[in-house]
């Protein structure tokens, strides 16, 4: 279990007016980046991540986070090292990405070979099929037949998020046969924040936002026969289709998170925190 649960009170001091204290979780993440073979991230990145963590503490949604990867621009290794890590790989397994795929705006797929293995298993992190949360921030890219994140074993062991796939967005929360949420993506959105979440047996939602399109619930409530928690890992930039990648993304992602189910207000707080973080990093937001 990540130490940030135990250290939440060791954060920026009250009344600070200059550089904030670097959050202990961010310090731990920096050590992991170096241990993974990367250079130490910049002070700007560490400060931006510390402010991000404070926003999660202040809104109490840090308790809901399982794995959070801000895909920082410092180095490819830093971008593949999750900030919050409760489950999965300390360094996401890289398949074909190179340093040139990473910019201040995030990491960009090529639609044919590039994806990440997370090591995260739904069966390890969710205690109930009525709990789920997948969030991505898409900073650029055209629509197409792709997956942002997902794992598939069968139609009743299926969890995925596809943003703006040919003009629509879908969310499968364990059972695609009867429970898929689909929305026609607002033409003013396309790129931006996508949060799919399930909080109980009858409440599944998709929330979206960017700086032009205000935070909105655009699909749900949904609900379906529950299905079963998948026991194979999630892939990012594609779907883990029973151990093989299927439908690669060409999008640029600047944030990925796996979390427990969020209320509307919690999802909006997460969006606000991500928007502030990516703005501080200098790109990867809309």
Per-residue pLDDT of the chain (286 residues; tens, 9 = 90+): 444 443 444 443 333 434 569 999 999 999 999 999 999 999 999 999 999 999 999 999 999 999 999 999 999 999 999 999 999 999 999 999 999 999 999 999 999 999 999 999 999 999 999 999 999 999 998 777 789 999 999 999 999 999 976 678 889 999 887 778 888 766 557 899 999 999 988 889 999 999 999 999 888 777 666 789 999 999 999 999 999 999 999 999 999 999 999 999 999 999 999 999 999 999 999 9
What's the token pair of residue 53?
Answer: 């963590």
SS3 label, residue 217: strand
DSSP code of residue 148: S
What are 194's strand-pairing partners? Answer: 136, 208
What's the token pair of residue 8?
Answer: 């939440």
- Rounded Cα distance, 100 and 108, in Å: 9
pTM more than 0.85: yes
Reference 64, options 246, 263, 212; nearest CA is 263
């Amino acid at each position: 279990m990540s130490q940030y649960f135990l250290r939440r009170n060791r954060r920026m001091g009250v009344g600070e007016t200059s550089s904030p204290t670097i959050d202990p979780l961010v310090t731990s993440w920096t050590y992991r980046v170096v241990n993974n073979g990367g250079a130490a991230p910049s002070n700007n990145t560490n400060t931006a991540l510390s402010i991000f963590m404070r926003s999660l503490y202040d809104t109490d949604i840090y308790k809901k986070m399982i794995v959070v990867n801000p895909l920082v621009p410092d180095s490819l290794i830093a971008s593949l090292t999750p900030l919050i890590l409760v489950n999965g790989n300390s360094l996401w397994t890289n398949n074909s990405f190179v340093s040139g795929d990473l910019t201040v705006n995030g990491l960009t797929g090529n639609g044919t070979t590039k994806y990440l293995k997370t090591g995260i298993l739904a069966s390890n992190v969710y205690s109930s099929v009525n709990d789920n949360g997948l969030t991505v921030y898409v900073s650029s890219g055209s629509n197409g037949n792709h997956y942002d994140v997902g794992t598939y074993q069968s139609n009743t062991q299926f969890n995925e998020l596809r943003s703006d796939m040919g003009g629509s967005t879908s969310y499968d929360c364990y059972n695609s046969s009867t429970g898929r949420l689909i929305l026609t993506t607002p033409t003013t959105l396309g790129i931006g924040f996508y949060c799919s979440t399930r909080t109980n047996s009858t409440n599944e939602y998709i929330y979206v936002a960017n700086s032009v399109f205000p935070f909105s619930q655009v699909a749900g409530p949904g609900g379906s026969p529950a299905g079963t928690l998948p026991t194979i890992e999630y892939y990012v930039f594609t779907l883990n289709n029973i151990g093989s990648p299927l439908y690669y993304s060409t999008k640029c992602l600047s944030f990925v998170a796996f979390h427990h189910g969020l209320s509307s207000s919690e999802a909006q707080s997460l969006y606000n925190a991500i928007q502030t973080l990516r703005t501080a990093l200098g790109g990867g937001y809309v």
